Structure 1
Amino acid sequence: MQNVLITNQKKKRKGFTLIELIIVLAVMAIIAAIAIPNLAGVSNNAKKKADIQSCETIKRTALTFVATGDMVEGIYTLTPGTTTTLTQKVGDKTEGVTNTDIVNAFKDVNTPEYGEETLYTIDIDDDGDVTVYTGDDADTEIITE
């Protein structure tokens, strides 16, 4: 009888059964199915907020130059990157802005992250109001007025 008890004690299981492992994997799969789509939405939302913040920064900077008279009414295109460029549309032509103070003020602006746009458009009206949006047309989603 003692031998049977000792044998049973030796056979005590060490580890998990197959069914326990399958249940754990199923629970993990359900959690992943819920969490992964939410993470993609959070990422897009963060990119959109970053672009809105960049547009606000551009707008404040442009308003400063409008107040000093360095930027006048017109449509400007800002292409951030390693070599930031700022151009102004004058009639049918596009001319580069040569005032280095203005260009340097925009050099720390990040490239748009949300969507496929790579530039910002700054629209200054005759009242000195500034509108900034990503891309080259006002139909884009990120606009600050």
Structure 2
Amino acid sequence: MNSVVLSTTQEIKGGEKLKKLKNNKGFSLVELLIVIAIMGVLAVIAFNMFSGVLGNSKKRADEQQARNIEKAILTYCIDSGDWKLANVYTSSTATSATTVVNDDTKVFLKILMATIYDKNHKEFGPYLSLKDPAQGASDSVNADAYDPQWNSSSGGKYIGYSVKVFPDKQAVKVVPIETGDTKVTLDTTTTP
């Protein structure tokens, strides 16, 4: 019986010798670089898609927050009958009403987080919940709880909320805004 001995070199036509690799397993460097490049492109595409999703979700959260604020103001107006926001007292011993019309919306939101009184010392609210009940409504953790999430510090454009109360229609409209005044206004001329 003839036995065949394999060596690490074989002769091919023309007398050239070809070295045979002992281990043909694994990927070449070019193959690995191509796979890494494809994964990088996919990662960039996925990152861009998800960053847009995050911005859109923050915008939607601010729109939902505006609806919650709207419901809180509407509930106060229905409970108290104060559609012109002229009888907002911040304590039972206050002798004059707090001016909320043409004031900053954030001030009114702080008032809605606490108990509100009318001129007869009747209690209403609170209509908005505190983020940290151990703190007061004016503390920064609670005062900033209703700030828009899609703001300039997170790549967004909202600066606050515009609040319009329509006393004649008994309606309230709150929207997040990008420019303008974040004030509480009464509107007796237009519909909501």
Normalized against structure 1, the TM-score is what? 0.65
- Between the aligned partners of 1:42 and 1:8, the Cα distance in structure 2 is 54
Does the Cα contact within 8 Å between 2:76 and 2:127 map onto a contact in 1? no
The one-letter code of the counterpart of 2:75 is T
For residues 48 and 110 of structure 1, the distance between their equivalents in structure 2, rounded to whole angstroms, comes to 13
The match for 1:2 among 5, 16, 29 is 5
In the alignment, what sits opposite 1:126?
167
Quickly say closer, same or farther: Cα 1:26–1:19, change in 2 above 3 A.
same
Residue 15 (structure 1) aligned with residue 43 (structure 2)? no
Give the 3 Å change call, closer, same or farther, for CA 113–107 of structure 1 in structure 2.
Answer: same
CA contact (8 A) 1:62 1:130 kept: yes
Residue matched to 2:111: 86
Cα separation, 2, equivalents of 1:54 and 1:134 = 9
Bigger helix fraction: 1
1:4-60 per-residue CA deviation (whole Å, 9 max, x = no partner) reads 27x968x21343210111111111122123222211111100000101111111112
Corresponding residue of 2:140: none
Provide the aligned length of Structure 1 versus Structure 2: 124
Match of 1:38 in 2: 49
4+ long deviations beyond 3 Å: 116-121
Identity of aligned residues (%): 27
Residues 62 and 71, structure 1, Cα contact 8 Å, conserved in 2:
no
1:99: which partner in 2? 116
What TM-score, normalized by structure 2, do the two folds share? 0.51
Distance in 2 between residues matched to 1:106 and 1:118, nearest whole Å: 20
Whether the 8 Å CA contact 2:75–2:127 is kept in 1: the answer is: no
Provide, for residues 119-139 of structure 1, a one-character-per-residue CA deviation record: whole Å limited to 9, x for no partner.
Answer: 43432122221011235637x
Which AA in structure 1 matches 2:181?
D
Corresponding position: 1:113 with 2:149: yes
State the structure with more CA Rg: 2
Give the whole-Å Cα distance in 1 for the aligned partners of 2:64 and 2:78.
21
RMSD: 3.3
Deviation track 1:85-144 (CA, whole Å, cap 9, x = no partner) reads 138xxxxxxxxx861743x32134643101235643432122221011235637xxxxxx
5+ unaligned residues in a row in structure 1: which ranges? Answer: 88-96, 139-144
Q: 2-side partners of 1:86 and 1:134: how far apart? A: 19
